[in-house]
Every structure is written in C-alpha cells, then in structure tokens.
A and B are shown apart, each in its own frame.
Chain A
C-alpha cells in the first residue's frame, strides 16, 4: 500500500501542523497496510492446509480418475464408463442413496421427537437426559460399530437370544442382504439421531414462549401450535441439519466397512467402501478415484442448499 502523503504538505500550512498531519496520515496508512498483511499472515496456515490437503487433492483426484490402472496413460472417461457398466457399481449408487435418505429421515424424526420430549421435562432433569441420550455420538463410530457387530453376530447375537426366548426365529442380521441393509441403516440412525436431538433441542429453546401463549389465546391446540409455530420457526435449522447429515451419511465409511465390508454379495456397498475396495485393496487407484468422484455432484448440490440455508438463518438472527 503506497504511502499517500506527499512530502510537499510540509510546505503548505505550518510546518508543525503539517508534520503532525503527515505523521498521522503515514501512521494510519502504515497501520492499514500492517493490518491487512497481519490478517493475511494469520490466515496463511489455514489457506495452506486447505489448498494443499483439500483443494489440490480434490483436483488431483479428478486427474487420477482419468488414468489407467498402472497410471501410465491418460484414458479420459473410460473409468467412469466402466463403472457405470458394472452391476456392482450401480448397486453402490442405489445403496448409498437409500441408506442416506432413509437414515436421515429417521434420524431427523427421532431427533425431533426426543427433542420435544426432553424439552417438556422440568428444566432440572433435562441436562441429565440430554447427557444420556448423546452417548452414541460420543463413542468413536468405529468402536460402537464393533459392538453392534457383536450384537448382530450370527452365532451369538444377543438380539437373537431375546427373539428366541420370545419364541421367534433368529434374524440373519448381517448374512441376509436385506437384513444387512437394515442393520447398516439402524446403526447409522443410532449414531446420528443424538446430533439431531441436540440441534433441535437448541432450536426449540430459541422459540419465544410468548408466541406459544399468543397461539394458545388465538385458539390453537397442542398440535396446531406445533404446526403453526414450532415448525415454521425451526424450518431453517431442520433444513440445515438434514442437508448436512445427508452429506455425512452419504459419504460414510466406518459402518459398512466394519460390519459387512460391502457384502453380502455387494449389497451393502457404498461409495466410500467400494472406492476403498477398488482403490486401496485392489490397488487400482484411478478406478477408486472415479468411484469417489461420483459423490461429488450430489455433495455440491447439497452444499449449495446448505449455504443458502445458513445465510438465511444468519439474516433471521441478525
């Protein structure tokens, strides 16, 4: 930034006054220059990390996906065509979508219900219940998936023991493809619902009590108050959390990898695990890159909507 003060200022009015003015102005210019530079330096580590470890790899991934397995020549969109032709991959697309949509729906529903239940408790007890209900989210997903795997174990499933005691038939939790899908979704819902609970509880508490009172006086019963006051006030937060969770669930790796490794018969594979299988296990990096890049369009769309939602919420509050 160029120092804006011309030395000839000293000759115009009075020397002392000019000197003071020049010192003040150059001091200000220097401050501005320093401020901008300091700000930039403070951001630099962040920029380096994001540029080097997120943006560059993302683009690199696109480049990789267009190479052959040995990474010696450029093959354009051949990998993508190949994938689209494969049954297993088409199932991956289908499964990833089904898991994400179903799981997020139930997570949001359970989150909303439990948030209301907890909110209606006397405030002293709320903290305790909130603490208990958030536990699934605190335990590292890989480890809790391990315990679910044990609960679903073909021979020793504790769930099957209960079912047997009640006279029913054992459930092949992980060995039957459709039950396996159910199990994956179940663990997903178990893990993610507490997040929704916390978000929705906070949102519920931000609705002013007087709105409910005004609605009561206007003649609304409990359900009408929910539909006309609670839901509209929470609309934005619901949208943000749902979209956010869609992205995260869509890209989830741990649950499928640990419990089913994609099976049986590739019927629980999702993008993340399939990419892992092809890219790391089988060593075909370009193909793996192609698989995971398929996620990109959907993530981008969801991201746009989230951004809009967050901006709207910022305006609502501020």
Chain B
C-alpha cells in the first residue's frame, strides 16, 4: 500500500521533532531556574546564620563590606565564648533532659493508645479518636494561660519539669494519630493468627505490631523530638531563671549582654541549638517526611 509523500502533511499541527525536544528541554531548564530561586529563598537565613557565626565581631559590626561573605577569616571565637562564658550548655542540658523525657512519655502513651484505638474497638473508641484529633487543634497559645495557673498551683513554675508536664499536649495527639494510621494498615489476620498462637494483647503489641510498624514509630519519635526541642510558648511563659531555661528561649532572650546584641554569638547559639533536629533530619529525612504526610494521606 502506498503512503502519501511528506509534502501533503498539513503543517499546522506538527512541529519538527527537534523543536519538540527543544521545547521540553526549555521547560526543564526553566523548572530548574525557578527551583534554584526558591532554594535560595529557603536557604538564605540558615546560610546567613552560618556566615555570621563564623565572622569576627569586628566584621559583623562593619557596615561597608558585603555581609554575605567572610573577608576577615573564619573564627570560632563565638562558639568558644558561647560554650565557656554563657549559660548555653545549661540550656542545652535542660533541653536534652526535657526532650528525652517527653519523647519517652509520648511514645509510650501514643503507642499504647493507638494500638488499642486501632485494633481493639470498644465503646467510645471512635469518639475518642476524633476527640484526640480535635484537641490537637487547640493551640498552646490558648492553653498557656490556664496552664500557667495550674503549674503555679503545682509549685512547678520556673522548673523545667513543668515542661515535661505540658509538652506531651503538643506531641501525644499527633503521634497517636500517626500511629493509628500505621497500625490500621496492618491486616487483621495478623491479630487472629496471634490469638490462635496464644498471645495476649501486650505480647501481640510487642512482638508483632511494634516491629511491623517500626517506620511509623520512628517517624512519630522524630516528630515528638522536633516539637519538644523547638517549643517556645511554654518555656517563655513558665521559666524565668537561667538555670532552668531551655535552648529556644535561652538563645533568643538571654544571650544579650548589657543591652548589646552580640549577633555573632547569637547566631552561633542558634546554629548549635538547631543542630540536633537538623542532624536527625539529614539522616532520617524519609521518616521525617513520612510522619508529616501520614497524618493527611492516611486520612
């Protein structure tokens, strides 16, 4: 059968193969251009934090030279001053203690509750699950006033143990929600096989569910850690003295000497304080993101 020659091809609808490929390549280049612009936007503050922390005080104060670059050489004096001459390490220690306690409490509470809510339907479990979700929507900036009274009444004001008391309100609801999502996705047949094998509920939890839902547990742990580490409202409201203070509030408010903002040291402090979450993120990024999206995509 004969095929009409190329001359009869209507030109309007076709583009040459070369132009099609060029069009696609331009689209990709443009994508990269915009992505780079967004990346610059997102990474500017951390970059500037690093640059300032490594600059000498003199250069920080100097107005004439380009603040985005270091000309006088990198110095670690801010870090040294920070660690030796300020209460920074105390803040770090307090934050670490609080965070570890809160993460432990959160994981125990969430895993137990999530397991029972997702696998063991009992009267009111649906209501409770919804209720948990709703309480997550009550912000700390509403609760901190009444909690101030309560904490004062308990004599825990100005003690970092008050943080251990209140931080779980920030972490437990969402972690439970994440864990419910993960536990729900484990098929029911596993329960039944375990019951037939003679396991009681706690054994089922420890020997079967936790290992299988480990990614979810890691994600929830990371979430609890990050939220505790970054909490600001409660320590701002409940903690006053330096020896009880945590990193976020301490770095922002207390590292000021005689009304002069030592920006070099402040940035060094901010950098060190932000380091733990960043390091966890660098190594466990996928779990981090899984924790976030689990909330929404698992309904």
Contact = CB atoms under 8 A, between A and B. Distances in A.
Q: In their complex, do chains A and B touch, with some C-beta pair under 8 Å? A: yes
Interface of A: 35-36, 38-40, 42-43, 45-47, 49-50, 53-55, 57-58, 60-61, 64, 110, 113-114, 117-118, 120-121, 127, 129-136, 138-148, 150-151, 153, 155-156, 158, 161, 190, 193-195, 198-199, 202-203, 206, 237, 240-241, 247-248, 250-254, 257-258, 271-272, 275-276, 279-280, 285, 288-289, 292-293, 295-296, 299, 302-303, 306-307, 310-311, 313-314, 316-318
Given A35-B201, A58-B142, A144-B274, A46 B46 contact: no
A150 B68 CA distance: 12
Contacts of B248: 140, 142-143
Contacts of B130: 307
Contact of A46 (B172, B229, B251): B172
B42 A251 contact: no
Contacts of B44: 151
Nearest to B177: A310
Interface in B236-265: 236-237, 247-249, 251-252, 263
Given A46-B109, A316-B299, 10 more contacts: A45-B108, A45-B113, A49-B109, A57-B150, A58-B142, A60-B149, A117-B38, A135-B278, A142-B249, A310-B133
Nearest to B169: A53
Interface stretch (B73-81, B211-219, B290-298): B290-298
Nearest to A55: B135
A61 B184 CA distance: 35
Contacts of B169: 49-50, 53-54
| Most chain B beta-carbon contacts within 10 A, residue among A60, A135, A190, A288 | A135
A45 B109 contact: yes
Nearest to B34: A117
Given A46-B132, A248-B139, A114 B35 contact: yes
Interface residues of B, number: 94
Nearest 8 CB-CB pairings of A with B: A314-B299, A140-B230, A272-B141, A251-B139, A46-B113, A39-B120, A42-B116, A57-B146
Contacts of B293: 198-199, 202
B161 interface: no
Contacts of A313: 296, 299
B199 interface: no
B145 A53 contact: no
Given A141-B230, A147-B45, A198-B289, A39 B116 contact: yes
Interface string B272-296: 0110011001000100110011001
A138 B42 contact: no
A155 B230 CA distance: 28
A45 B273 contact: no
Interface string B128-156: 10111111011111111111111000000
A265 B250 CA distance: 26
Contacts of B67: 156, 158, 161
19 contacts: A38-B120, A39-B116, A39-B122, A55-B135, A60-B150, A140-B273, A143-B230, A146-B251, A150-B267, A161-B63, A161-B66, A240-B296, A276-B237, A279-B145, A292-B141, A295-B141, A313-B296, A313-B299, A317-B299
Interface string B76-106: 0000000000000000000000000000000
Given A38-B201, A144-B46, A303-B134, A288 B142 contact: no
B190 interface: no
A176 to B, nearest CB: 20
Nearest to A161: B67
A49 B172 contact: yes
Which of A39, A250, A289 is packed against the most chain B CB atoms within 10 Å? A39
A61 B143 contact: yes
